[in-house]
Structure 1
Amino acid sequence: MEQTPYKKLDLPHGHCLEIFDDSRKIGADAWVVIMTATMKIPVETSLFASEPLSDDKFNDILKALGSPIEYRYRLERNMIMDHEKDAVLENLVNTFLENTGKYVANSKFPAKLALKAYRDRVEKRKKK
């Protein structure tokens, strides 16, 4: 599916948050309005500068997750009429930025996301 870029934000930690309008028409004059926010985070040793890791631990994280990892957040509203679509999308974007924007812009966010994804992957391995 082709994504329609809506907004790009360069964050203080050096990564770029991209927001897309993934809305699709579901009727003659109705839409499902979808906002998707993504951030690609390269898994590099510099990512863990505030919490240095051993080479073995870093290599295990890189092997488990690959690079880059991706943060993805999605909000949607269903059955939105044509004339309301743009305003609803703008509201979804503003709500996301107000509620989650500071969190993903935090300098520790990329490393914490990578470590959480790694822990989740290790847990999943243990359950098999």
Structure 2
Amino acid sequence: MEKKLIKIINLENGLELKLYDASRKLAGDRWLVSLIARIEIPTNESLLKEDASPSLNVDEIRKVLGEKLLFELKREKIFIDEKKKDKVMKEIQDLFLSSSLSYLSYSDFPKKYVLKKFNEKIKKDSWYKNI
């Protein structure tokens, strides 16, 4: 699936939100209209400086998650008339930004997202070890 970068937004928390158009033709004049939102979150020292848990450190998080973590959300509408696909993409983009931009810009978003993914990965890995 080919993606086209359509917008870059610098967030208040220092991260960069990238919006991609990943729409594709389905059949005849019908389209899958697809918006992908991505944020690369570095797993660095400043991310955890105010973390209340002294048992967690950046090296441990990097070992599990890597140097960067990718936040990705997709919003799609299916079977859209070719004549309406640009309008629908604009609507999806506007709705996404109006409902999510403040959340993604929040200063604690990167830290909380990284810790959530770290805990999920640890839990998943420990579950597999118990099989």
Q: Normalised by the shorter chain, which TM-score bucket?
A: over 0.9
State the distance in 2 between where 1:85 and 1:39 align.
Answer: 25
Q: Which structure 2 residues correspond to residues 77-92 of structure 1 after superposition, within 5 A?
A: 77-92=77-92
State the distance in 1 between where 2:3 and 2:23 align.
Answer: 9
Structure 1: state its 5+ residue gaps.
none
Structure 2: state its 5+ residue gaps.
none
Partner of 1:44: 44
Partner of 2:125: 125
Distance apart, 1:2 and its partner CA: 2.9
State the distance in 1 between where 2:46 and 2:117 align.
Answer: 17
The AA in structure 1 aligned to 2:68 is P
Write out the 4+ residue segments of structure 1 that deviate beyond 6 Å after TM superposition. Answer: none
Judging changes above 3 Å, is the alpha-carbon distance between structure 1 residues 62 and 54 closer, same or farther for their aligned structure 2 residues?
A: farther
Q: What is the TM-score normalised by the length of structure 2?
A: 0.91
Equivalent position SS for 1:26: strand
Q: For residues 26-51 of structure 1, what are the alpha-carbon distances to aligned partners after superposition, in whole Å with 9 as ceiling and x for unaligned?
A: 12211000000000011101112232
The AA in structure 2 aligned to 1:51 is D
User: How many residue pairs were aligned?
Assistant: 128
Q: For residues 22-81 of structure 1, what are the alpha-carbon distances to aligned partners after superposition, in whole Å with 9 as ceiling and x for unaligned?
A: 000112211000000000011101112232664863211110000210000001000000
Q: Which structure 2 residues correspond to residues 1-128 of structure 1 after superposition, within 5 A?
A: 1-51=1-51, 54=54, 57-128=57-128
Cα RMSD (Å): 1.5
State the distance in 2 between where 1:75 and 1:98 align.
Answer: 13
